[in-house]
Amino acid sequence: MALAWSDSRDIAIELFEQYPKQDPQQVRFTDLRKMIIELDDFTDDPNHCGERVLEAVMLAWIDEY
Helices (H), the chain: 8-18, 29-37, 51-64
- pLDDT score at 1: 79
β-partners of residue 42 are: 3
Q: Is residue 25's pLDDT more than 90? A: yes
- Domains, the chain, with CATH or none: 8-64 (1.10.10.600)
- pLDDT score at 34: 97
Largest CA distance in the chain: 28
Question: Mean pLDDT across the chain, nearest whole number?
Answer: 95
pLDDT band at 22; cut points 50, 70, 90: very high
Q: Which amino acid, residue 30? A: T
Sequence-separated (6 or more) residues with CB below 8 Å from residue 44:
3, 4, 5
pTM, entire model: 0.92
